[in-house]
Every structure is written in structure tokens, then in C-alpha cells.
Amino acid sequence: MTVKITINGREVEAEAGRDLLSTCLEQGVEVPHFCWHGDLGSVGACRLCAVRVFDGPQDTVGRIEMSCMTPVRDGQRVEVADPDAARFRAHVIEWLMLNHPHDCAVCEEGGACHLQDMTVATGHRNRRSDAPKRTHRNQDLGPLLTHEMNRCIACYRCVRFYRDYAGGTDLDVFGAHDRVYFGRATDGVLESPFAGNLAEICPTGVFNDKGWSQKYARRWDMAATPAICPHCAAGCNITLYERHGTLRQVQNRYHGALNGSFLCDRGRFGPLFADAARISVPRLGGAAVAPEAALEAARALVPGACGVGSPRASLEANFALRRLVGAGRFFAGVSDAEAALVRRMAAVLVAGPARIASMKDIETADAALVLGEDLTGTAPRAALALRQASRGASRALAAEKGVPGWQDAAVRVAGEGRLSPVTLVTPLPDALDDIARPALRRTPAQVAEFGFAVAAALRGEPVADAEALATATALAEAAAPLVVAGMGLGSGGAVEAAAAVVAELGVRARLALFPAEVNSMGLALLGGEGLEAAALALEAAPGPLFVLEADVFERADPATVARLMAAATSVIVLDCLETRLTAAADLVLPVASFAEAAGTVVNFEGRAQRGFAGLPEGRPAAWRVLSQIGGLFAEDATLEDVLAAMEADCPALAGAVDAAPVGVVPGRVARAPAPFSGRTASDLAGRLPEGTPPHDRDSGLSWTMEGIRGARVPPALSTGPVVPGMHSVSAAYHAQEYIGGPLKGGDPGAALLVAGQGGVTPVAPVPETDGEGLIWLPLHDAFSATETDRASPLLAARAPGPRLLLHPEDAAALGLAAGAAVLVEGAPTAAMLTLDAAMPRGHVGLSVGLAAPRGRAGRLRLEAAP
Ligand code: FES
């Protein structure tokens, strides 16, 4: 219900029951605060948000209240600048600063710190106490985060995010008297794959990004560039921070429909791989050669060549390769089965009737069915979103019981015992089990059967599976039911089952299907069969093989790769990473990583998004190298020219050009960091030792700190809001263009897939027949599943080793004991055997990427290594 209240003498409309603090911020009225956060709500811990509240015109005295804990009521008057309230806030800051070390000069957060901003805002200047400060022992929290507890102001944001929002259990608050400690019970790696968000959510420098700390530059000295996380199909928006030609840090870039305020650790720390494992010099026959000689050699190999594109390369790079070799000789750098499955996903999404789910839709679902997908391993940000759907159910129950929705702890208690809206059907125990009621264990074949049973129940057919019946009832009663599947199980059964369920649910359903990589969907829309077809084509007409940013050893069955390599007369690889394939290639050409060139990718929703070069003088874009080889585009062609040609050739990609403005934005957009001072860079323009900044031909971004900033910047080019007096990431919640969810200018990206076109009939998978060996159950490890994950030193330090899991009885039948070294298909594996009674009989769990290529065939023969 909307009511009228007065804020600082201005009458505004506000939502009754909502907290006063966020209402003031939305009206553009600043209220100092620490513990309130737009995604965590209010807890009333810091007492900084004091304002004077009058009940109405008759109330001439009013009282000091915490605005975050005070619900909006009709006729209320709020005075933020009231002298008593201002004095109260100044006292709060003074007592919070009593024990703060005042170490801004050596703190990473200095200049981008919410505590600094609030201290200035409340007018606290001088320390009056000379009492000794309370000190704490810091913990070693693993390779990703630093811990400096002396800086803590006890706002509780960290535990509220870690435990309430992200479901972590190993970070907590411990206290006795006035000693309150936020950390683990003992030193050790923070287990949550979302722990990195603590570095942003902490309003001071208690938790910080260890990678940044090791390659530190002040925030205002770094160039900030909008980019897309390259680590999974979610397509989260990130900001790359660069200084002196190296990537220093990655931060979340707010996107209302996707990542909102949070990233997973894979997306926060993984992209720094672009600074490591670099191929910088062309190699011919294993020896370094000059770039022109390498291009000349490549030109000679174009006639009769096949090309293998990549789901981790941009649309522009893939399109250029397709143009070089011709559409008939262009193949996707994945198995045939994966290529077909992603095409099928696109067809299912487009068919409808379900709406294609965004991450926000996942968060707001009131009933959800997850079929077979280990989201924490395959698309971690989606797991975090699904957790919020469960929290939403608790909140709804709390509202029914009259518990104010802004009291998170009370909501959690009130929500206890409520049936979660999430049904999770996976082969193995899952990180989301704690929010699932029920969490069902089924084999991959049974996962598909379960989905089809739910669909049958929705049609009113008799169904023997009571859980399927209950799930169908929950979905049928929901206003916004959600179905999630993907290619995590390596087969299409779950996707077909998901299609069958949403076909029965109709237009109110939302459907999320997750392919494996950042541009899997884009590559599928570009077309092309997979690696088995490439091998066949080369066997029929042998010729050179150009491979773009795809380690084929990683993505296809070893037999297929052997055929491919044998049939190719020579292998030319364009990549930024050293891989098994670059070691075997005849010619290696270095090309830009995602952080060195602008490029467009298509995420799980079919949303085309563009990232830009975050390093000023990196390797050339792959499409430029291919153009130099084949004369594909004019010498001075820009990204815009490639996109225009691509849209003309590939109708399925029409609209990709609209992912972000290309070409020059009037005035150019400064690559300015969000906490911008410009002190170093702007004031010294033209006199810096860096010299003349390079010119970016492929975007409207400038390589200086000068240019347009703030609200005039198109959303896809924005790296953060500009809020006077605010320099931390918390400023996002003060910025008018961010408040209320989607960016006011529209969330970045262009939808290439539009649901509701029909034309798909779900196909139930054929039941498994007996075969030799055990059925492979792909295990997805959040930090090591792809070649880019493993190229990131920070993720590599965090990643567990490869896993090989067997049911104890299967292991006994094979004569294998726990810890045994095992041969898989006759070849040794790095994974040691673990016996796990949760494993389905007749299956073997093996880590994707580390221990098994993603395109591996369905059954594996195991034997003890000699
Ligand atoms: Fe209101 Fe902390 S923001 S008490």
C-alpha cells in the first residue's frame, strides 16, 4: 500500500511497512548507515542510521529512531538533519572508531572505504580517547581473502551475507563482553564458493581480496573496464581494474536481471587468469617466430582447412574463423553430443510457453524443480539465486505470522519448518540440499524419468512416484514456478524432461537451461556440428585444422581427438593459454584473452553481452588475426564492421550488435574507477610516464580518466554509479540509477532468444541398456572445471584435487580399494579413488576437466593401476 510521508520537508509517496532508510535512499536523501544492505535488509546493529521521526502533524517532539528498523507509516515526518540525530550519529562513529586502527594509509580499502565515507559524512574529526585499542588475532582464511579483524566495526554484514544469504556455515560471530569476533572457529579456508563477496560487503577492510592485495594499486589509480565473466554460462557482469598493464582486481558490476550485487568466487578471482599463462610469441614447429612469418605460414594453410571454434571465444572470433574456412568446414569445439544439446536447449527456450528465466526470476520463484544440475559446480551464481527463492518462502511465512520482513533473523526463525519451494533431484548430495524439500537422489536416467513423471502428474495422469506427484502439486499451485536443467549430467534427458514440465505449466512457468561455457549458446546459434563431425570431415578431405581457443583434448573423447589430430595435415592454434593442444600444434598464434579485446558472448538466457578490453596493449583480437590471415575484413575494420557482417550472414544472431554501444560514444566514456578522484591520473594528464594513452578502436571507452561519467554513460559501458561523497561499492545502493533493481537505463544486453514460438516436442530418453564399464557421472568442481579456471593461480590454489568416486560395492566388485590408483579406459588418472556410499550403483564419478574430458563417452572401464 502506498502512503504519504514527509522526508526533510518534502512530501513523497512511499510503501507502507518498508523501512525508512531504504525509502530515504530511494528518494535521493542520504542517511549514513553500515549494517543495512539492499540485499540483506536491516538488523539494527550499528545505530548509525538515526533520524528524528514524528508520527504526524500533531507530533511536535518526535523521537530518535533507527531508520532501518522503522517501518513507513502514513503521515510520518522524517528529519535526517535534525541536530540531535546528527549528534547521535557523530557519537556512533566516534565510539566505532575508538578501536579502529586508523590505518587507512596502509589499508587496501583506503579511498574506497564506506567507513571513511561515513566518518567524513558525520563530521567526526579528532580522536579524543587515548585509551589502548582493543586488538584481535587475525586468521588465515585461505588463498582468496585477507583478514584484519582490528578494523571491524561489528556491523554483522559478513555473517549475514555468508550464513543467511549464501548458506555458509564456517564463518560466524563469536563474542564475550565487548569483544566480538567475526571469523572461523579455527584458521582455515572459507568453504563457501561465494566467500569473495565479503571483500565487497564489508564496509571497511576486515575482509579483502588477497589477489588485489598482492598486486595492489589504489582504486583511483586503476582503469576500470566493463567486462563479462568468462567462467560459465551465467554471464555475470564484472569490472576489470588495470594498472600499468596488469589486471589487479575484479569486482562485481551490478546487473539487475543477472548478478545483482554478488559474484561467485570463480567469477571474482578466475578472470585474473588473463595475467598468467600467457602465450605472447608465435611458434612455428615449436620454435618462436616473428609475427609476420607466423601469419605467412598460416596463410599458406588456409586452402582446404577446417576450423574448430570455441564456446569460450567471442562471437566475433568464431564468426571470423567460420568466414576463413567457410560455413561447411566450420565446427564447434565441443563433442557432437554437446553441440546438439545446446542447439536443443535454444530450441526448447524459444519454443516456450515458459518465459526464459533470468537470474532474478530464479531468485523470485515460488516453486522450483532442479533436474540433475549441480548448480554450485556448473553455474554457481544460479545456486546463490535459487537459495534466495527459499529465503523468499521464509519471508512470506514470516509475513503471514506478522514478523516484520526487515528482520532477517526473526524471519529465519519464523520460516523454520516451512516446506521449501525447491525440489532438487540430483545423483549426488548437493550444496543446495539444505534448502531443498525434498532433496532426491536419482541416477541420471531416473532424473529424466522423474521430470516426465511430474509432467504426467500435471496432465492429471496417474503417477506412482509420490515425490513427483507432490512436486507437480507445488508447481501447479505456484504463481511463478521455475524449472532448471542443463548439461551437467552430460546427456539431454534432463533438458527434455524440463521441456515436458514447462509445456504443462504454461506461460506462468520460467525455464532456465544452463550450457557449459560462457559462449556455448552463441556458438550454437552460429551453427556447426561438433568435433566428431570435424574428424569425419578431415578424414574425408584431409587438410589443415585451425583451432580457436579450444583445447580439444578437454572437450572430446580421446578417440575422437586422436582421429582429428591424425587426419589434420597440420594444426594451427589461436589461443591465449598454453594447453595440451598448443603443445601439440604445428603453429601457435597468440590472441587476446577476454580481458584484452572487446567481444560479444551469449549467456544461458540467450542474452548477448559485450565486454571490453581491460588491458590497454594486449595481444590482438582473434578476429583481427584471422582477418590478417584471410583478408576477411578491411584493414581498418572495427568490431562494428565484424558484427554487421555477422548479422548479415547469421540471422540467428540478429540483435547481437545491440548488446552494447559500439563505436564512439559522444565524448567517450572514461575508464574511471567507481571511487573516482582523478587525483593522480587526470591532474597529470600528458605528463605521466605512461605516455600517450592508446586509442580503443572497438569501443566508446577512452584509455584515460577523462570522458563522460555517471548517469550519462550507457548501462553496458558503466562500471559503477557516481555518488557525491561515496567512494565504496556500497555506493551502488545510493545511486538513483541503481536503486529499485534494474538500472534505470535498462539492464545491459540484448535478448537473442524470444520464447513462445512453439515447435518442440519433448522426447523421453531411451532407457540405458547394459554395457561394458560403469556409467560416467560428471563431477563439476567450482574452481577447476574449465581450462580458464585452472589457468587462474588464485583458483588453482583454492581448488580441490580431482575426484574419482565409486560406490563401495562397485569398488569391491572391481577389486579396488580406497586411495588406489586407477586406470580409466586404460589410462592413468590424477584422481585417487574415494569410496562413497552416496554414489549410485553402476556409476563412476569423475571430475570434469581435471580427470575426464567433458565430451567423454557415457561408460568408462576402470581397473587398478599396476
Ligand atoms: Fe540502521 Fe545499522 S543501518 S542500525
Q: What is the pLDDT of residues 637-657, one digit of tens each?
A: 999 999 999 999 999 999 999
Is residue 382 within 8 Å of 362, Cβ to Cβ?
yes
The CA distances from residue 586 to 320, 393, 557, in Å, are: 21, 57, 22
Q: Which atom of ligand 1 is closest in space to residue 49's alpha carbon?
A: 1
Q: Say how many Å lie between the CA of residue 42 and the centre of ligand 1.
A: 7
Q: Is 39 exposed, middle or buried (0-12, 13-18, 19+ CB in 10 A)?
A: middle
Q: Say how many Å lie between the CA of residue 606 and the centre of ligand 1.
A: 39
- E-strand ranges in 127-254 read 145-147, 172-176, 179-183, 207-209, 223-228, 237-243, 246-252
Helix (H) or strand (E) holding 408: helix 408-415
Cell of 629: 590471415
Cell of 582: 598448443
What pLDDT score does 163 carry?
A: 93
Q: What is the mean pLDDT of residues 395-400?
A: 68
Q: Which atom of ligand 1 is closest in space to residue 35's alpha carbon?
A: 2
* DSSP bridge pairs for 1: none
What is the separation, in whole angstroms, between the first and last Cα of the chain? 73
Q: Which atom of ligand 1 is closest in space to residue 67's alpha carbon?
A: 1
Q: Say how many Å lie between the CA of residue 178 and the centre of ligand 1.
A: 19
Cell of 563: 582421429
Phi, psi of 542 (to 5 degrees): -55, 145
Q: Say how many Å lie between the CA of residue 44 and the centre of ligand 1.
A: 5
How many residues in total does the chain contain? 866
Q: Say how many Å lie between the CA of residue 297 and the centre of ligand 1.
A: 65
Is residue 56 within 8 Å of 76, Cβ to Cβ?
yes
Q: Say how many Å lie between the CA of residue 21 and the centre of ligand 1.
A: 8
Q: Could you read off the pLDDT of 308-331 as tens digits, one per residue?
A: 999 999 999 999 999 999 999 999
Q: Which atom of ligand 1 is closest in space to residue 44's alpha carbon?
A: 4
Q: Could you read off the pLDDT of 83-142 as tens digits, one per residue?
A: 999 999 999 999 999 999 989 999 999 888 999 999 988 888 888 888 999 999 999 999
What pLDDT score does 675 carry?
A: 62
pLDDT band at 735 (very low <50, low <70, confident <90, very high): low
State yes or no: pLDDT of 860 exceeds 80: yes
State yes or no: pLDDT of 776 exceeds 70: yes
Distance CA 510, CA 385 (A): 14
Q: Which atom of ligand 1 is closest in space to residue 155's alpha carbon?
A: 2
Residues within 6 Å of ligand 1 by CB: 33-36, 44-49, 66, 68
Q: What is the mean pLDDT of residues 41-65?
A: 92
Is 755 strand, coil or helix? Answer: coil
What pLDDT score does 744 carry?
A: 58
Percentage of the chain beyond pLDDT 70 is 91
C-alpha triplet 479, 485, 490: angle, nearest 5°: 175
Q: Which residue, among 183, 205, 7, 204, has the nearest Cα to 93 in the 3D structure?
A: 204
Distance CA 79, CA 102 (A): 31
Phi, psi of 161 (to 5 degrees): -70, -50
State yes or no: pLDDT of 732 exceeds 70: no
Q: Is 418 exposed, middle or buried (0-12, 13-18, 19+ CB in 10 A)?
A: middle
Q: Say how many Å lie between the CA of residue 50 and the centre of ligand 1.
A: 8
State yes or no: pLDDT of 701 exceeds 80: yes
The residue among 441 and 411 whose pLDDT is bigger is: 441
Pocket test for ligand 1, best of 35, 88, 117 (most atoms within 8 A of CB): 35
Q: Is 416 exposed, middle or buried (0-12, 13-18, 19+ CB in 10 A)?
A: exposed
Distance CA 567, CA 536 (A): 9
Residues 6+ apart with CB under 8 A from 564: 531, 534, 535, 538, 545, 552, 556
What pLDDT score does 691 carry?
A: 61
Using N-to-C axis directions, what is the helix angle for 315-325 and 622-630, rounded to 10°?
Answer: 20
Average of per-residue pLDDT values in the chain: 89
Q: What is the DSSP letter of 728?
A: S
Q: What is the DSSP letter of 338?
A: H
Q: What is the DSSP letter of 560?
A: H
The residue among 729 and 408 whose pLDDT is bigger is: 729
Q: Could you read off the pLDDT of 708-730 as tens digits, one per residue?
A: 777 778 888 888 777 777 788 77
Distance CA 292, CA 314 (A): 24
Q: Say how many Å lie between the CA of residue 121 and the centre of ligand 1.
A: 15
What pLDDT score does 544 carry?
A: 97
What pLDDT score does 665 carry?
A: 63
How many CA atoms are closer than 13 Å to the CA of 759, on its beta-carbon side?
A: 11
Q: Which atom of ligand 1 is closest in space to residue 46's alpha carbon?
A: 2
Distance CA 814, CA 678 (A): 66
Q: Could you read off the pLDDT of 454-463 as tens digits, one per residue?
A: 999 999 999 9
Q: What is the mean pLDDT of residues 427-452?
A: 91
What pLDDT score does 441 carry?
A: 93
What pLDDT score does 403 carry?
A: 58
Q: Which residue has the cell 568453504?
A: 191
Cell of 579: 594447453
Q: Which atom of ligand 1 is closest in space to residue 47's alpha carbon?
A: 4
Distance CA 41, CA 157 (A): 10
pLDDT band at 417 (very low <50, low <70, confident <90, very high): very low
Q: Say how many Å lie between the CA of residue 23 and the centre of ligand 1.
A: 14
Is residue 279 within 8 Å of 576, Cβ to Cβ?
yes
C-alpha triplet 185, 189, 194: angle, nearest 5°: 105
What pLDDT score does 392 carry?
A: 78
Q: Say how many Å lie between the CA of residue 51 and the centre of ligand 1.
A: 11
Helix (H) or strand (E) holding 269: helix 265-269
Pocket test for ligand 1, best of 64, 66, 89 (most atoms within 8 A of CB): 66
Which letter, b or e, does each residue of 662-694 get, where b requires 16 or more Cβ atoms within 10 Å of its Cβ? Answer: bebbeebbbbbbbbbbbeebeeeeeeeeeeebe
Q: Say how many Å lie between the CA of residue 155 and the centre of ligand 1.
A: 8
Q: What is the mean pLDDT of residues 794-808?
A: 91
Q: Which residue has the cell 510520518?
A: 76
Q: Say how many Å lie between the CA of residue 157 and the centre of ligand 1.
A: 11
Q: What is the mean pLDDT of residues 615-644?
A: 93
Distance CA 614, CA 215 (A): 16
Q: Say how many Å lie between the CA of residue 345 and the centre of ligand 1.
A: 45
What pLDDT score does 406 carry?
A: 46
Pocket test for ligand 1, best of 24, 25, 30, 34 (most atoms within 8 A of CB): 34
What pLDDT score does 416 carry?
A: 52
pLDDT band at 79 (very low <50, low <70, confident <90, very high): very high
What pLDDT score does 853 carry?
A: 73
Pocket test for ligand 1, best of 40, 51, 68, 730 (most atoms within 8 A of CB): 68
Is residue 324 within 8 Å of 632, Cβ to Cβ?
yes
State yes or no: pLDDT of 294 exceeds 60: yes
pLDDT band at 742 (very low <50, low <70, confident <90, very high): very low
Distance CA 748, CA 716 (A): 5
State yes or no: pLDDT of 407 exceeds 90: no
Task: Output the pTM of the full model.
Answer: 0.93
What pLDDT score does 706 carry?
A: 75
Phi, psi of 671 (to 5 degrees): -80, 55
Strands 10-15 and 2-7: antiparallel
The alpha carbons of the chain give a radius of gyration, in whole angstroms, of 28
Q: Which residue has the cell 569460450?
A: 312
State yes or no: pLDDT of 554 exceeds 50: yes
Q: Which residue has the cell 507530533?
A: 59
Q: Say how many Å lie between the CA of residue 459 and the centre of ligand 1.
A: 50
The CA distances from residue 781 to 269, 734, 799, in Å, are: 15, 36, 8
H-state helical runs in 599-756: 622-630, 639-649
State yes or no: pLDDT of 150 exceeds 80: yes
Residues 6+ apart with CB under 8 A from 565: 571, 584
What pLDDT score does 508 carry?
A: 94
Q: What is the mean pLDDT of residues 211-234?
A: 91
Q: Which atom of ligand 1 is closest in space to residue 36's alpha carbon?
A: 3
The DSSP code sequence of 11-50 is EEEEETTSBHHHHHHHTT-----SS-BTTTBB---S---E
What pLDDT score does 56 carry?
A: 83
Strands 145-147 and 207-209: antiparallel
Q: Could you read off the pLDDT of 247-282 as tens digits, one per residue?
A: 999 999 989 899 989 999 999 999 998 886 578 899
Pocket test for ligand 1, best of 19, 22, 31, 33 (most atoms within 8 A of CB): 33
Distance CA 581, CA 575 (A): 10
